[in-house]
Structure 1
Amino acid sequence: MAVDNINQQQSFVQNRRSSLLAAIFLMATSAIGPGFITQTATFTATLGAAFAFGILASVVIDFVVQQNIWRVVTLTQMNAAAVANRAIPGSGYLLAVLVIFGGLVFNIGNIAGAGLGLNALFGLSPKLGGLISAGIAIYIFASRRAGVALDRMLIVLGIVMIVLTLYVALVSHPPLGMALRETVFPSNINFAAITTIVGGTVGGYISYAGAHRLLDKGISGKEHIKEVSAAANRGIIVVGIMRYVLFLAIFGVVASGVTIDLSSHNANPASQAFLAAAGNVGLRIFGVVLWAAALSSVIGAAWTSVSFISVFRPGITERQRNIATLVFIAFTLAVYLSLGTAPTALLVFAGGFNGLVLPLGLTLFLWVGWRRADLMDGYRYPRWLLWLGLITCIMTWYMAIMSVSTIFNFLKIA
């Protein structure tokens, strides 16, 4: 009997660790999508070593946003939209609509990115590559053990991205001293670049991916707050490593004197950098990295967006949610296949729209942290985190204004 209890306890601990790891990689891989890869290559080519500060700034902002959202969701033990409704009645429905619509738009861009990845890897047409990638995502959610398959796939894809990008960073031989110095003491601070990076990697569904996964796994309440906070920190570390390694890989190429073409509307600066760093092998590695980033984002966008449906239909079962996720992916695939819009333009539009969602949600969550301790079982929210959240919130509203400009520019050229 004692042995059975020990085994049960060990199994419980392992499942909890697995759940925390899955939430970390869901958040991390959602934040490293094809849009981020393209943006990093573009800004590194134009700003050089100075963009290292932009990477650091984006990670700090991510830390504040994720710590507040993960904390409030798990303490209230409610879906983000439900939390918003309790803070200001009706606001949760608005948040859910914006996240779901933003996720739909973003997923079209993610499928497009997956198609571009398989195009670089195997020479397939982008639309065929997108079809194959969406088929893999649909297969995952259609399996009987969709939850386990989802977690394992995200972890594998995340590790593949980091390892392969690290290899390219090593062979490109970036000037590390210069990069580290510019990270802390930048010679040029480009706020537009920071705004674009944050808007495309924290906005929309991305902010809620890890928190909702923890809630889905039953890791919530005051008794788990230390684990939740630590998991959020680890997720930010994973994101930070991937972002900085990608920057170093491209910076090594730029510092060597190679000119990356940014003039063409359909130019792919990241693929040029990987090709210059490691030849045809580098181009194939770029294909794998872009495909892994896009596929994990397809999975993350679909799962997280559909998780908001519960605010409209309480009591939805896991099977019903999986079916809704299949429909979500199939719909975005159909839209992508029917559109003639360039994938790059889709990614720009998606990032711009999702930049609108972040400040709304963050404002509501900070209100809960400041004024609604009753929703968090009397938990005393860290004031330092709320003040950092307030500063970040002001910044994200500025980013939202920039996002509106991005959307209008897209509509003019589309």
Structure 2
Amino acid sequence: MAESVQTPSAAKAATRGGFMAAIFLMATSAIGPGFITQTATFTATLGAAFAFAIVASILIDFVVQMNIWRITALTGKRASDTANAAIPGSGYLLTVLVVIGGVAFNMGNIAGAGLGMNAMFGLEPKVGGAISAFLAIGVFLAKRAGVLLDRLMILLGLMMIAMTVVVAIISNPPVGEALRQSVLPDVLDFATITTIVGGTVGGYITYAGAHRMLDKGLAGEHNLVAVTRASLTGIAVTGVMRFVLFLAILGVVTSGVTLDLSGHAANPAGQAFAAALGEWGMRVFGLIFWAAAITSVIGAAYTSVSFLTVFRDMDERGRNMATVAFIAVSLAIYLAIGTAPAALLVFVGGFNGLILPIGFTIFMYVGYARPDLLGGHHYNRILLALGALVCLLTWYMGFKSIGPIFAFLAV
């Protein structure tokens, strides 16, 4: 039987599809239930001035993701293997941090999926969370798990953007004022920038798209231009979603609606959608919130397991089974303790603040001093300079997060 040969057009389509999968895994991982809730909360308290924090987070995201994607493409290794090659043993440390943070984050993501189902169908959140976790498990048990994963992330990502754009148009936000305060904010709150950056580019999120790109075979210096273009596209998709969500809620806030931020049951994002769309607003919010949560469940599990290969090499089926186990463990812990306690969330936030600077520092070291790991490629000095500045900023954020970690351990 003649061996099938892939035509140039088919190869180009496969490459484009691989990059699209990586782009949307990165974007949907960065837009989780925590980010949606934080955006509503900060918009309610800061108003249009929160636009500056959104833009700042996008700029930091640009520097981090551009460097992570390009260096990953040049090394052809996952972050844990790159770290071990650069500084022996550091990859194991990074893996432990990512996996611990990933399990805890997934508990919050499963809880978010449950809240989304509660808003859509009135299901008890634990039941909705369990159903969502089993749906995520089903993705990795499917015969063509990789194809299903890619298509699901793209579909849900586009759906989230489209529905949020509709809400933003209906809420009629003051776009001009938001754009002005993107550059010249009336209030500058560094704590909000720290929180948003940690929630959108910290932890496993940093590596989600780059590892998917690697698994699609899109590494090597010959792919560097395409990798750069894809990472820019991913950052743009993420940035558009962040800013449109902010505008949707800003329109509600500036219309005179006061969002209730008090108490553990407060749901400012749901309130904003209900105010904009009336009776159906909460259901639309539920669908967007659920989509953000389920994609984050999948992204956290997939990326965390991709780090575990530093301990033991696994084929695709082995990684899928490990990912199923990862989601099942996260679900079991969530069901045992309910929605994640506040102390645990603080602890996870502290870990999130530490993972980014540790991993990013190693990548910057590789870019500066280890061309041997980059196939002899002399890395872009402008990106390295920008990376160094952002690296210092992330270390400052990390030090700010150490206190909550010790407070948790002392309990």
TM-score by length of 1: 0.95
Task: Quote the offset at 1:6 in angstroms.
Answer: 8.7
Separation (CA, whole Å) in 2 of partners of 1:166 and 1:352:
33
Separation (CA, whole Å) in 2 of partners of 1:344 and 1:285:
27
Letter in 1 for 2:14: N
Per-residue CA shift, 1:352-378, capped at 9, x if unaligned?
422210000000000000000111111
Task: Quote the offset at 1:404 in angstroms.
Answer: 2.7
Question: 1:373 maps to which residue?
Answer: 371
Which blocks of at least 5 consecutive residues in structure 1 are unaligned? none
Letter in 2 for 1:304: T
Separation (CA, whole Å) in 2 of partners of 1:194 and 1:312:
35
Letter in 2 for 1:110: N
Task: Quote the offset at 1:206 in angstroms.
Answer: 0.4
Letter in 1 for 2:179: L
Question: 1:124 maps to which residue?
Answer: 123
1:58-97 equivalences under 5 Å are 58-97=57-96
Query: What SS is found at the alignment partner of 1:267?
Result: coil
Separation (CA, whole Å) in 1 of partners of 2:179 and 2:131:
40
Matched-pair identity in %: 62
Task: Quote the offset at 1:409 in angstroms.
Answer: 6.2
1:285-324 equivalences under 5 Å are 285-314=284-313, 316-324=314-322
Separation (CA, whole Å) in 2 of partners of 1:248 and 1:343:
30
Task: Quote the offset at 1:187 in angstroms.
Answer: 1.3
Separation (CA, whole Å) in 2 of partners of 1:50 and 1:176:
12
1:174 aligns with 2:173: yes
Separation (CA, whole Å) in 1 of partners of 2:399 and 2:372:
33
Question: 2:230 maps to which residue?
Answer: 231
Task: Quote the offset at 1:403 in angstroms.
Answer: 2.4
Specify which of 386, 395, 401 is matched with residue 403 of structure 1: 401
Task: Quote the offset at 1:408 in angstroms.
Answer: 5.4
1:101-116 equivalences under 5 Å are 101-116=100-115
Separation (CA, whole Å) in 2 of partners of 1:252 and 1:59:
21
Q: 1:372 to 1:342 in 2, by over 3 A?
A: closer
1:135 aligns with 2:169: no
Q: Give the stretch that moved more between structures: 177-186 or 298-307.
A: 177-186
Preserved CA contact (<8 Å) 2:111 2:339: no
Q: 1:367 to 1:13 in 2, by over 3 A?
A: same
Separation (CA, whole Å) in 1 of partners of 2:51 and 2:110:
28
Preserved CA contact (<8 Å) 1:95 1:361: yes
Specify which of 387, 391, 394 is matched with residue 389 of structure 1: 387
Separation (CA, whole Å) in 2 of partners of 1:93 and 1:303:
17
Preserved CA contact (<8 Å) 1:53 1:183: yes
Preserved CA contact (<8 Å) 1:199 1:352: no
Aligned length: 409
Separation (CA, whole Å) in 2 of partners of 1:190 and 1:74:
36
Letter in 2 for 1:87: A
Letter in 1 for 2:68: I
Preserved CA contact (<8 Å) 1:72 1:376: yes
Question: 1:27 maps to which residue?
Answer: 26
Question: 2:197 maps to which residue?
Answer: 198
Separation (CA, whole Å) in 2 of partners of 1:6 and 1:310:
31
Query: What SS is found at the alignment partner of 1:360?
Result: helix
Preserved CA contact (<8 Å) 2:107 2:339: no
Question: 1:54 maps to which residue?
Answer: 53
Per-residue CA shift, 1:118-146, capped at 9, x if unaligned?
00111101100001100110101001100
TM-score by length of 2: 0.96
Per-residue CA shift, 1:241-292, capped at 9, x if unaligned?
0000000011001111111111212211111111111112111110001000
Task: Quote the offset at 1:149 in angstroms.
Answer: 0.4
Task: Quote the offset at 1:342 in angstroms.
Answer: 5.0
